[in-house]
């Protein structure tokens, strides 16, 4: 009877260690976390900049133009300015109340809280393709991300040029 209790205790301890993934190794499921959005993301960190680009993608329009969706957040005390945006090397027309990006005052492209808009005219953008979006900042410099071009439906049905 005593041996049975000891064996059961060892079995429980062994089971608990596998359930906590202590022995899962470098291919553990928690190490292989997938991104849950379509949008491209990056961070630009320099001595004077800490810009976070979040959720960027392009919504393809029926005429081949594209509309940028995403958010730029400045986490630095020093402001920066958006000088321009290009998609697949075609310059976008950017409209915003201000191109200055202040700390914790996001520049939002599209949506209910939008305070900026960027449209790439006649760039031949097709839904499902990958596009290169380049952002030009006064202080942070240039950063390019690969993003998906989405079709104009579901969440993006109201996104128009």
In the predicted model, is pLDDT for residue 114 greater than 90? yes
Domain tally, the chain = 2
Q: Tell me what percent of the residues of the chain surpass a pLDDT of 70.
A: 77
Reported as a single tens digit per residue, the pLDDT across 23-42 is 555 666 655 555 556 789 99
Question: Which has the higher per-residue pLDDT, 5 or 71?
Answer: 71
- My answer on whether 24 and 50 are in the same domain is no
161 in a domain, yes or no? Answer: no
105 in a domain, yes or no? Answer: yes
Q: Tell me what percent of the residues of the chain surpass a pLDDT of 90.
A: 70
Looking at residue 78, its pLDDT comes to 94
| Structural domain range at position 13 | 2-31
Global confidence as pTM:
0.77
| 14: exposed, middle or buried (Cβ count in 10 Å: 0-12, 13-18, 19+) | exposed
- My answer on whether 84 and 130 are in the same domain is yes
In the predicted model, is pLDDT for residue 136 greater than 80? yes
């Amino acid at each position: 009877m005593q041996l049975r209790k000891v064996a059961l205790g060892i079995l429980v301890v062994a089971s608990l260690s596998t359930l906590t993934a202590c022995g899962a190794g470098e291919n553990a499921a928690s190490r292989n976390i997938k991104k849950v959005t379509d949008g491209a993301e990056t961070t630009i960190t320099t001595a004077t900049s800490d810009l976070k680009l979040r959720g960027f993608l392009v919504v393809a329009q029926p005429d081949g133009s594209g509309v940028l969706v995403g958010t730029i957040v400045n986490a630095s005390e020093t402001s920066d300015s958006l000088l321009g945006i290009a998609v697949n090397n075609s310059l976008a027309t950017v409209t915003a109340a201000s191109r200055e990006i202040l700390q914790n005052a996001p520049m939002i492209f599209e949506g209910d809280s939008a305070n900026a808009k960027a449209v790439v005219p006649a760039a031949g953008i097709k839904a499902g393709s990958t596009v290169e979006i380049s952002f030009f900042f006064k202080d942070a410099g240039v950063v390019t991300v690969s993003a998906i071009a989405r079709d104009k439906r579901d969440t993006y049905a109201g996104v128009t040029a």
